[in-house]
Amino acid sequence: MASLNDFDTVELLDEESALRIIDQTKLPGKLEVLELRTAKEIWDAIYKLKVRGAPAIGVTAAMGIYILMKPYAGADAEEFRAQFDRTAAYLNSSRPTAVNLSWALARMERVLAGCEGAAQTAEGADVPKGMSSREKLEHLRAQAQAIRDEDVEVCRRIGENGLTLLKPGDGILTHCNAGQLATIRYGTATAPIYLGQERGYHFRVFCDETRPLLQGARLTAFELTQAGVDCTLECDNMCASLMKSGQVQAVLVGCDRVAANGDAANKIGTSVVATVAARYKIPFYVCAPTSTIDITVPDGDGIVIEQRSPEEVTSMWYESPMAPTGVKVYNPAFDVTDHELITGIITEYGVLHEPYDRAIADLFGRL
Ligand code: MRU
């Protein structure tokens, strides 16, 4: 089988009329890549978690809107803008919780506005006013590429900052997949693990399997095993026993949206892990690129939590249903960890501590 490192999680194909993604629903059994050409294909790939993880969704949306606008190279300014707005709204409706999706589309929109002369400068670019649609496309392409390239650098810096909190030989527990497959490279929660691996830290990593969609078992355990990291899989309900046994020195998780007060939405079950970690006095760290911090949401109550279909719980992984037909199912994709349970938020700019409202406001004041 091909190796994970043979492909990027998401990338532009050479002729730039398609995105290529690793189909994460097929892992770990098959490493299959998919080419996405239409808005519906990109929307479906995000909704069906063929590509998933907050940063990877953001890069997919940015590259996606670029390729979807390419057929409009000859359109006039009004038609180009109308098509852009329609496409952005459509892609943005694919999943509600990870803020990176709307964050990346907003960055692309600001570039377009700059090209139209509606803004003084477009982000990261010095843009003359009144461009042709073809020229606008070039700026959109550059911005999508910048969002992708920054992701690699941001994750590496989260890795460096996270590594300062860990000791060689530590046992690290993680939940869901905030790894390479959720980003372009390194991951967020796995970045300190990968850097530690390169530097001989010999971490022992425990992966929660992460019901109901098993991102921990299918993706994190797969990634870490491929990278030669010492990795042990356990069911979600085993984390208390594991922590009580003294084998875990730190918890590292990713996140989909951090509110202005530090409350952090991440894969369902994360707040259980945080609660248990607090009980056993194990530091619990949330790894968050600043693109995942949403200062417009004051606290976790304002974060929209995606609800997913009952079949993910009752039948999706089984040959025959494992629950009575028609039973009511509670299936939120994410939960919010209260900021009081978070020991530190590891960003590309350093580690934030309580009081998070002040730390986050200070950080955004400096950006
Ligand atoms: O539903 P998913 O698989 O997209 O959920 C992903 C997570 O919860 C990740 O932990 C989060 O997006 C951070 S990825 C760096």
Nearest-atom index, ligand 1, CA of 189:
15
Residue type, 101: L
Q: At what angle are helices 99-116 and 77-92 packed, to 10 degrees?
A: 170
Query: 119 CA to middle of ligand 1, Å?
Result: 33
The pLDDT tens digits of the residues spanning 231-245 come to 999 999 999 999 999
Q: What is the CB-side half-sphere exposure of residue 298 using CA atoms within 13 A?
A: 0
Q: What's the gap in Å between 38 CA and the centre of ligand 1?
A: 24
55 lines ligand 1 (CB under 6 A): yes
| Cβ–ligand 1 contact at 50 (below 6 Å) | no
Contacts of 125 (CB under 8 A, 6+ apart): 111, 114, 139, 142, 143
- How much distance in Å is there from the Cα of 126 to the middle of ligand 1? 34
Pocket test for ligand 1, best of 25, 215, 251, 285 (most atoms within 8 A of CB): 215
Catalytic residue among 8, 170, 208, 256: 256
6 included as an active-site residue: no
Q: How far apart are CA 367 and CA 365, in angstroms?
A: 6
Q: Which atom of ligand 1 is nearest to the CA of 175?
A: 10
CA of 97 to the centre of ligand 1 (A): 10
> Per the omega criterion (within 30 degrees of 0), is the bond before 289 cis?
no
Residue from 279, 224, 275 nearest 28 by CA: 224
Q: Please tell me the distance between residue 17's alpha carbon and the centre of ligand 1 in angstroms.
A: 27
Q: Whose CA is nearest to atom 15 of ligand 1?
A: 178
Task: Give the residue, out of 255, 291, 337, with the most ligand 1 atoms within 8 A of its beta carbon, to mutate for a pocket test.
Answer: 255
* Residue 54 beta carbon below 6 angstroms from any ligand 1 atom: yes
Per residue of the chain (367 residues), what is the pLDDT tens digit? 778 889 999 999 988 899 999 999 999 999 999 999 999 999 999 999 999 999 999 999 999 999 999 999 999 999 999 999 999 999 999 999 999 999 999 999 999 999 998 544 555 555 455 799 999 999 999 999 999 999 999 999 999 999 999 999 999 999 999 999 999 999 999 999 999 999 999 999 999 999 999 999 999 999 999 999 999 999 999 999 999 999 999 999 999 999 999 999 999 999 999 999 999 999 999 999 999 999 999 999 999 999 999 999 999 989 999 999 999 999 999 999 999 999 999 999 999 999 999 999 999 999 9
97 touches ligand 1 (CB under 6 Å)? no
pLDDT, tens digit (0-9, with 9 covering 90-100), for 27-43:
999 999 999 999 999 99
Residue 52 CB less than 6 A away from ligand 1: yes
Q: Which of 256, 258, 331 to mutate to test the pocket of ligand 1 (most atoms within 8 A of CB)?
A: 256
What digits encode the pLDDT tens for the residues 149-169?
Answer: 999 999 999 999 999 999 999
Say how many Å lie between the CA of residue 15 and the centre of ligand 1: 30
Q: Is the shortest distance between the CB of 98 and ligand 1 below 6 Å?
A: yes
